[in-house]
Chains A and B, each alone.
Chain A
């Protein structure tokens, strides 16, 4: 699991790559939330480098999304590979979390 992030104004784009499964899902959530700053209003998670996400990974994404929602902040994910996109589509999580084709789309959305 690797992270990098890029902040411009109140928008934070986080790149996550590697694999998220039961063994590192809680670390994933902690690292992700550790990057948020109070001024961030729009958080975009770029999963273009993500190879695999298990149900435990989906669950922590949902926790992050709900936490941000409670603070009236926007959260979206983008650039899903085909395999990861399938996981979101089949689980129905694409109906719960905003999914965009690219970072640019997510910024506009």
Chain B
């Protein structure tokens, strides 16, 4: 029997404890999670110091005696491998930003959506498990190969796995990792009546790149809250990432915000290949690039954005260069023109069909040639 994960919940409002115990009763009964409660940062630190088996902290921000942001600062002193998720008021960007800068792994907003909370806790604990494995491997000085396989598991642990399919929009996303290189990720999340979409490619590989990927994802998710301008989000993420980046790691990405009611899609690109628009009439267009630089390398970069209107039946395909630079045995690249041909006069019937078509064609083209880079593709379609 494995030990349950122990989660310390810190909040001064007495309602949260019964609510968590009730909503998480299945996980508690099946011995997956065990919850411990504290009412403020001081009490939380006491419990953490007394009980080294606590794995994760879920903390509110505003509390008497010691608030959540101060608590965050103290956590590494108790145990550098603790992971924290912050509960914040919706749209409270300043506090979320501070929390992320102080090492929070993720955040949820109030009023708490328990499905979202469950996913966030699960992802945090999955990440923690991978992280512990990475640390123990490092202690044993194992081969680089092993480090890379752990990095790739870290990468998998941050990818969301339930793409939304509604009457208004469909999302389909896949990432096929190369054997040794882990740098791509995708994300999608709801922001009010909008849907945020991300496809990204981190330079380099291994555990440092995975950690950079993690920071990129969290910074973007944080910066995206309540902001309608993707260009502002990218400028913000860029400034956060480049602050402490002595090895010049960088991430290229597209961030798009879709408004299902109107069908408008606004996107901003940071050093990434532009998306493809598959129109309902069967034409395929490369959407215009926007002004910007890969994230993390230069301060105060100005990004621009473009808007496109999706009519019913239109789809947009976001991808990484693993698609266009996939090689066959003759060292030819799959390339943009082959990617466009996948959809030429062949309007996909669903987002999933579009995504599958990309992977199938790349696979067919590459044949037995080894895959040298991650391949990521995300399709958004308006049915």
Q: What is A's interface to B at a CB cutoff of 8 Å?
A: 21-22, 54-56, 58-59, 62-63, 66, 90-93, 95-96
**Count, chain B residues at interface, CB 8 A:** 27
Q: Which of B140-183 contact A (CB under 8 A)?
A: 181, 183
Q: At the interface, is chain B mostly helix, strand, loop or mixed?
A: loop
**CA A55 to CA B248, docked complex, whole Å:** 11
| B106 proximal to A (CB < 8 A) | no
A-B contact pairs, 27 of them (CB 8 A): A22-B181, A54-B325, A54-B373, A55-B203, A55-B252, A56-B203, A56-B204, A58-B294, A59-B203, A59-B248, A59-B250, A62-B248, A62-B250, A63-B247, A63-B248, A66-B248, A91-B252, A91-B271, A91-B293, A91-B294, A92-B270, A92-B301, A93-B294, A95-B298, A96-B293, A96-B297, A96-B298
| B250: chain A residues within 8 A (beta carbon) | 55, 58-59, 62
Whether A90 contacts B372 by the Cβ 8 Å rule is no
* A66 vs B271: C-alpha distance when bound (angstroms): 19
Most buried by A among B249, B250, B273, B298: B250
What's the Cα separation between A96 and B247 when bound, in Å? 16
Task: Please determine whether A92 and B292 come into contact, CB atoms closer than 8 angstroms.
Answer: yes
Complex Cα spacing A90 to B203, Å: 14
Once bound together, how far apart are the Cα atoms of A93 and B201, in whole Å?
15
With contact pairs A54-B373, A55-B250 given, residues A22 and B204 touching in the complex (Cβ less than 8 Å): yes
Binding site for A on B (CB under 8 A): 181, 183, 201, 203-205, 247-250, 252, 270-274, 289, 292-294, 297-298, 301, 321, 325, 372-373
Q: What residues of chain B lie closer than 8 Å to A95, measured between beta carbons?
A: 293, 298
Most chain B beta carbons < 10 A, residue from A58, A59, A66, A91: A91
| Cα–Cα distance between A55 and B272 once the two chains are bound (Å) | 11
Residues of chain A within 8 A of B294, CB atoms compared: 55, 58, 91-93
Q: Which chain A positions have C-beta within 8 A of B373?
A: 54
Q: Min CB distance, B203 to chain A, in Å? A: 4
Distance A58 CA – B252 CA, assembled complex (angstroms): 12
Q: Are B372 and A58 in contact (CB under 8 A)?
A: no
Tell me the nearest residue of chain B to A66, going by C-beta: B248
Which B residues lie within 8 Å of A21 (CB)?
Answer: 372
Minimum CB–CB distance from A108 to chain B (whole Å) comes to 25
For A63, give the chain B residue with the smallest CB separation. Answer: B248
Contact B271 A93 (CB under 8 A): yes
Given contacts A21-B372, A66-B248, A93-B271, contact A55 B201 (CB under 8 A): yes
Q: How far is the CA of A92 from the CA of B251 in the complex (A)?
A: 12
Cα-based distance from A59 to B373 in the complex (angstroms): 16
Contacts of B204 in A (CB 8 A): 22, 55-56, 59
CB distance from A24 to the nearest CB of B (A): 12
Determine whether the beta carbon of B203 is less than 8 Å from that of A92. no
